Structure 1
Amino acid sequence: MCRDYLRPALLIFASIAVGVVGWSGHVLLLPVALGFPVLWSIAHTRLVAALVSAGYFLAAARGLPQGVATFYSSDIWPGLLLWLCASLGFVAVHLVLWTNKESLRPFRYFLAAVIMTIPPFGITGWALPITAAGVLFPGWGWWGLGFMTAGLAGLVTRMWPAVAIALAGLWLWSAAIWTDPKLPEGWQGVDLEMGASLGREAGLHRHRDMIATVHGAASDGARFVVLPESALGFWTPTVERLWTGAFSDGDATVIAGATVLDATGYDNVLVAIDRNGGSILYRGRMPVPGSMWQPWRSWFGESGGARADFFANPVVPIGASRAAPLICYEQLIVWPILQSMLHDPDFVVAVGNGWWTEGTSIVAIQRAAATGWAKLFAKPLVIAFNT
């Protein structure tokens, strides 16, 4: 009887460990997440498979309760509720598609991975093992993604030890020669440490400080300077005139996060500013569900919340190049970056405002994921975060 409980307990404990280590925020540890499909496949019952899935996902997203509590200046309970609710989709998909028939298992796992990649389940499709493709197959692009998919399918078969050994060999080789993605020539990302005040404190003094920061980067040779999400606060004609005037006598272009507000809600955007004026460069495809994207408001005739443009503007033109922008939450899920890569951009621009994640690994995970995808497709990467 004891053995009947020991095996499931060990599987659940192992899935938690895989979630913690794989999603610790270190890019070279992302392949640890490949332990999840193995554990899922060797579960003997559907219930154990569900518990393994829950253990893995909750461990990977462990920073969410504390982050939500900080964001809303509340106690831990709202964050715990959101943490559990976010796991339901992942657990439900892997519960329904689990099977004890080995011949069907690779197809079932592949189907689960696809479902968790694209909306609607892909909206909370965090911690997907496919994110490790850039570590195991750097520079292989779509071929690397295909080999990674085949590897994941192999990990849920009886041959998983041989597949795991092969993938571990690729992991060790990649780690030995690893280099981070390069910056595009003439680009500079600026990290800020302004906490919750960024985007909320809209005084002239704050704007002048950031303008001085950009001028400093431009004086070091950068022609394109990237500021984090929400750096400019609300995008208004006054803000546009102030920033345009500040760069009227130079060649620098500023790419910065801002908010565009109207009567029905707001857009989380990136704007481009140079001596000729400012314009909206990119509208966020997937704002953070719950805190920003609140589609249920329209069901009750209410307005407010950020708009999700889903599959709009996957790449944007900047100068003579084309960029794949990712704002904050879009770095944690899979479909925005894959949609962008279908259009073969020249580089990736990843920005975020992670002041609310202090004490968690969320920002580190975002950076690791963006780095991994950029390495997979051999794209330069520009990162700018506020903490």
Structure 2
Amino acid sequence: MRRDWLQPLALGLASATAGYIAWSGQVLALPAAIAFPALWSMARSHRTASVVSAAYFLVASRGLPQGVAAFYQSDIWPGLILWLAASSGFVFVHAALWSRQSGGWKALRYTIAMVLMALPPFGIVGWAHPITAAGVLFPGWGWAGLAAVAAGLAIMTTRYRPAAAVTLVGFWLWSAAFWTAPDIGRGWQGVDLQLGNSLGRDNSLARHSDLVATLRLRRRPDTAYVLLPESALGFWTPSVERLWRQQLTGTDLNVIAGAAVVDPEGYNNVLVRVSATESEILYRQRMPVPGSMWQPWLAPIGKSGGARADFFANPVVFVGGQRVAPLICYEQLIIWPVLMSMLHDPDLVVAVGNDWWTKGTAIIGIQRASAEAWARLFNKPLVMSFNT
């Protein structure tokens, strides 16, 4: 009887530890997630597999309750409910696909779980995916590196896991010893802001003028494109467009910034490009944050509102003759948006977020680490801009 509860407890604690280390916000810690498939495969029942999966996911996403409470300026309960609801998909997939059979059959079932958690619908909450570690383990390997890590994770569920673990840890140590951050796109500059929850909500003339002044002050001499965070321009209207074009008169600067385009049915979370002579909506977010932004249950009950999810739209956009892969906030935490963009071989990755609500959590660090890992895997320059 003692052994009946000790084994699930030990596996659960080990899985939680792997989730805590991997998703601490440090890019070089991401490969700690490779322990999860091994621990999952050691379970002796569906119940233990559920415990292992829940421990990993809940600890990896531990910042969510506090972040949601800050976002809504409420108590912790809404965040706890969302935290538990989001974990249900991860736990369901891994518990359902666990099997007592070993060897190739278990590796195949884990591979199916990896794919399901990378693609919609389960991939909508596919945070903390171990495959993200590919960029640290095999920087510059591209699709071959992704395949190598996927194979390694699958082998971790078989009796050959010691060999797989030694090999992956060896690559991890080598990478950590010689790690370099992704290049910054030539002619690009990301500008971080510290404007808290006023960004995107204060749409006054003074705020826009202050943002332009900040850009002029921080702009490097070789910069042609300046990146601002998600929501930096607030509601994108003809008046705001005219104001920015006027403010940029006399410069050759192109500003890429987050904004919201509103209509009677809802809104799009977008990136726009504006210069002294023209402007355009560059990118519509493929996957807004479920619940707080994307609310698909509104349309069936006849209500409007919420952000649109353009799941497979605009994987790359064109800026100055370059193919750019944009990732807005939540898209940095899940798998299919970045892989879909990489299928189009972009020249550059841009990552933006409005993360004032993540203060005191590792969420913004996890977003940065994920974006950096994907950029290193495919050897792409990376430009980031966040508001805190």
TM range (shorter): over 0.9
Match of 1:320 in 2: 321
Aligned pairs for 1:138-177 within 5 A:
138-177=139-178
Amino acid at match of 1:250: T
Match of 1:304 in 2: 305
| Alignment partner of 1:344 is 2:345 | yes
Match of 2:127 in 1: 126
User: In structure 2, what is the Cα distance between the partners aligned to 1:251 and 1:312?
Assistant: 30
> Could you report, residue by residue, the CA deviation over 1:231-284 in whole angstroms, capped at 9, with x for unpaired residues?
000001111011111222121100000000010000000000112221100000
SS of equivalent residue, structure 2 residue 292: coil
Amino acid at match of 2:26: H
8 Å contact from structure 1 (residues 326, 351) kept in 2: yes
Q: TM-score, normalised on structure 1?
A: 0.99
Amino acid at match of 1:375: R
> Could you report, residue by residue, the CA deviation over 1:163-215 in whole angstroms, capped at 9, with x for unpaired residues?
10010000000000000001011110000000000000111111111101112
Aligned pairs for 1:1-387 within 5 A:
1-103=1-103, 104-387=105-388
> Could you report, residue by residue, the CA deviation over 1:69-100 in whole angstroms, capped at 9, with x for unpaired residues?
11111100110000000000000000100011
8 Å contact from structure 1 (residues 230, 256) kept in 2: yes
SS of equivalent residue, structure 1 residue 290: coil
SS of equivalent residue, structure 1 residue 169: helix
8 Å contact from structure 1 (residues 217, 225) kept in 2: no
User: In structure 2, what is the Cα distance between the partners aligned to 1:131 and 1:149?
Assistant: 10
Amino acid at match of 2:240: V
Amino acid at match of 1:120: P
SS of equivalent residue, structure 2 residue 139: coil
Amino acid at match of 1:44: R
Given the superposition, is the C-alpha separation of residues 22 and 321 from structure 1 closer, same or farther in structure 2, using an over 3 Å criterion?
same
Greater Cα shift, 230-239 or 213-222: 213-222
User: In structure 2, what is the Cα distance between the partners aligned to 1:114 and 1:183?
Assistant: 31
User: In structure 1, what is the Cα distance between the partners aligned to 2:61 and 2:150?
Assistant: 23
Q: CA deviation at 1:351?
A: 0.2
User: In structure 1, what is the Cα distance between the partners aligned to 2:287 and 2:220?
Assistant: 34
Amino acid at match of 2:371: A
Q: CA deviation at 1:3?
A: 2.1
8 Å contact from structure 1 (residues 271, 279) kept in 2: yes
Q: CA deviation at 1:219?
A: 4.9
SS of equivalent residue, structure 2 residue 13: helix
User: In structure 1, what is the Cα distance between the partners aligned to 2:243 and 2:322?
Assistant: 26
Amino acid at match of 1:381: L
Amino acid at match of 2:198: S
Q: How many percent identity over aligned positions?
A: 62
What is the RMSD computed on CA atoms of the aligned residues? 0.7
SS of equivalent residue, structure 2 residue 298: helix
Q: CA deviation at 1:7?
A: 1.4
Given the superposition, is the C-alpha separation of residues 219 and 53 from structure 1 closer, same or farther in structure 2, using an over 3 Å criterion?
closer
User: In structure 1, what is the Cα distance between the partners aligned to 2:290 and 2:27?
Assistant: 25
Q: CA deviation at 1:221?
A: 2.5
User: In structure 2, what is the Cα distance between the partners aligned to 1:345 and 1:183?
Assistant: 14
Amino acid at match of 1:68: V
Q: CA deviation at 1:8?
A: 1.2
Aligned residues: 387
User: In structure 2, what is the Cα distance between the partners aligned to 1:315 and 1:213?
Assistant: 28
Amino acid at match of 1:385: F
Q: TM-score, normalised on structure 2?
A: 0.99
8 Å contact from structure 1 (residues 22, 32) kept in 2: yes
Amino acid at match of 1:91: V
User: In structure 2, what is the Cα distance between the partners aligned to 1:137 and 1:172?
Assistant: 11
Amino acid at match of 1:254: V
Given the superposition, is the C-alpha separation of residues 54 and 280 from structure 1 closer, same or farther in structure 2, using an over 3 Å criterion?
same
User: In structure 2, what is the Cα distance between the partners aligned to 1:163 and 1:218?
Assistant: 47
Amino acid at match of 2:61: A
User: In structure 2, what is the Cα distance between the partners aligned to 1:293 and 1:4?
Assistant: 42
8 Å contact from structure 1 (residues 39, 52) kept in 2: yes
Amino acid at match of 1:67: G
